Structure 1
Amino acid sequence: MGDRAGHAPMNSVQQAFRLLEAVAAHERGAPAERLAREAGLSLDAALRVLGALTKDGYLRRLEGGGFVLGDNPGAGGDHSAQALMNRIRPALASLRDDLSAAAYLTFYEEGEIRIAEIVDGPQTPKVDLWVGFKDAGHATALGKCVLRELDDDARAEYLSRHTLADLTPRTITHREELLRQLESSFPAPVVMDREEYDLGTVCIAVPVYNGTTLGSLGVSFRADRMYRTSQVRESLLSSADRVTRGLSLGG
C-alpha cells in the first residue's frame, strides 16, 4: 500500500460521489455552478471532476451547459445492472488508486457470492482467480465478509451447500473454526484473509448493500505490503458508504 504522508484518503471519490448525488437530484440537469455549491466544492474542483466524469460517460453535458447522469438523460432513471455499475465504478477506481491495490465488489445473490466488478491496473493487478468464488467464499475476505453479515440461518444454509476446500496451507477448512474467526478475527465490520485463497496475497473487505442485497467491497495486495491497516480500514469504510449510496441513486 502506498505510504503517502499528508494524503487525505478518498478525497477524489468523495468529490465524484458528491457531484453524482447532486446531478442525480436534477432530472433535467443543472449547471456546474449549482452542482459545485450543492456538493460543497469550489467551482474549479467541480469543473475538473465533472469533466472527468463526462469524459468517462458517467455524466452527459446538455446543450445548455447543464449536466445529467450519463445513463439517465432525465427520463426517470435506468436501474439496469450496467447502469448501477456505471455509477459506482469511479468509487472502485479511486479506491484502487488511493490504496495502490486492486478493488473488488461482490453481491450475495440466489444463495451465492458473486463478483460484480473488479477494477485493477498495470501497477495493481488482481489476484489470480484460479478457483471460482462459488467454491472459495470461506477463503476470501470478500466471501467471509458476506458470511459474517448473514443471519445464523442463512449462514448455516450456505455452509451446508459448500465444502470448505483446502486452497492453501492457511485456508480454514473446519466450520467451527471459520465461525469463530467470523465472530472474533478483526474489528467489525472489517474482514481479512491472510493468504487463505492465494499464497502471498492478503485481502481486506467490508460490507456494502444494494437495497436489501448484501455485498462486499475489498482490496487485495501482496502479503509483504500489509501495513498501514488503519488507512486501509478508513478508506474501505468510507468507500463502502459511497458505493452503497451510489447504488441507491435514483432508487
Structure 2
Amino acid sequence: MGAQEGGPTLITSVQRALRLLEAVTTHENGAPAKQLARETGLPLATAYHLLRTLVHDGYVRKLDDGGYVLGDKVQMLHTNGRGQVLLSRVRPTLAALRDELATAAYLTFYEEGEIRVAEIVDGPQAPRVDLWVGFEDAGHATALGKSVLRELDDASRKDYLSRHSLADLTPRTITSRTELLRRLDSSPVAPAVTDLEEYALGTVCVAVPVYSGDTLGSLGVSLRADRLPRLEEILARLIPTANRVTRGLSLTI
C-alpha cells in the first residue's frame, strides 16, 4: 500500500520539478520563486522546496537578487545529449560499413588532448580487437590514434607525444618518436594510416580522419592480418564512409 501511495507522489514531484525547469528557461535574467510558482500553478511552499533541491543538485542556480536561472548541470546534460544524438545519426553508417566489410568499425575523437573511443560497432562475424591497452595510452600503436596524430598541427602533436610514452605493445610497435613522425608524414595510403600488428599481433587496422564540427576524430576498421591484401578494397569503402560520417556529425542539431 505504501509503495502505491509513494509511486504517484514521486511521479508528481518529478513532473512539478520539470515544470519549474521549463519556467526558469523562459527567463533569461532569472525569476523569483513567487513568479515561478504562479506561472507553474504550484503552491509557493512546494516551489521553494523543489527549487532548493534543484539548486542543491546543480540544475538551477540562485542569483544574488533572489532570481533563479538554469545551472551548469543542465548545460552538461545538453552537451552530453547532443553527443548521443550525433552518434545516433552515424551509427547506422558504421553498422553498414561493418556488414559490408565484415570488420568491426571504430569512431574516435580528439578531446581535451586525448584520443578517446566514442563508438564501436561490431558483431559475431566482425569481432572487435581486444582492447587490452586503453586507446588513450596507445595512440602511437593504433591506426585510429595515428590518424588523429597525422592531422594535428605540429604544436598539438608535440604536446600529445610529450605526455604519452611510446609503449612497446608488440614486436612491431613503433617506439621511436622520430620514426613515428616520419611514417605519419609519409603514409603510402594517405589520408589513411595503418596499424600493422602494432597494437595486437594477428590484427591490422586502417583509419581515416573525420570531423564533428571543429573536433578532429578518426574512423577505422580492424581485421585479421591475413586479410591485409584487401586493403585497397577496404580503403575504397572507408574514405567515402568517413565523408558521410563527417557530414552527419557536422549537421546542426
Task: Specify if TM > 0.5.
Answer: yes
Query: What is the deviation of 1:187?
Result: 2.6
* Aligned equivalent of 2:193, options 191, 207, 211: 191
- The share of aligned pairs that are identical, in percent, is 70
Question: How far apart in 2 are the matches of 1:185 and 1:238?
Answer: 19
Q: Which residue of 2 aligns with 1:215?
A: 217
User: Structure 2 CA distance, aligned partners of 1:193 and 1:159?
Assistant: 18
Shift of 1:79: 6.2
Aligned mates of 1:176, 1:215 — CA distance in 2 = 23
- For 2:90, give the aligned amino acid: I
Q: Matches of 2:156 and 2:182 in 1, distance apart?
A: 17
Instruction: Give the structure with the higher percent helix.
Output: 2
Query: Which of 150, 153, 157 is matched with 2:152 structurally?
Result: 150
What letter corresponds to residue 166 of structure 1 in structure 2?
Answer: D
Runs of 4+ deviating beyond 3 Å: none
Q: CA RMSD in A?
A: 1.2
Instruction: Within 5 Å, give how 1:59-208 maps onto structure 2.
Output: 80-208=82-210
Pairing partner for 1:236 from 230, 238, 253? 238
Greater length-normalized contact order (CA 8 Å, ≥ 6 residues apart): 1
- Using the size of structure 2 for normalisation, the TM-score is 0.67
Q: State the secondary structure of the residue aligned to 2:120.
A: strand
Which residue in the other structure is 2:27 paired with?
Answer: none
CA contact under 8 A between 1:186 and 1:192: conserved in structure 2? no
In the aligned structure 2, how far is the partner of 1:207 from the partner of 1:116?
14
User: CA separation in 2, counterparts of 1:81 and 1:130?
Assistant: 26
- Code of the residue aligned with 2:82 in structure 1: it is S
Unaligned ranges ≥5, structure 1:
1-77
Q: Which runs of 5+ in 2 are unaligned?
A: 1-79
SS at match of 1:137: coil
AA aligned to 1:132 is: G
Q: Which amino acid aligns with 1:117?
A: E
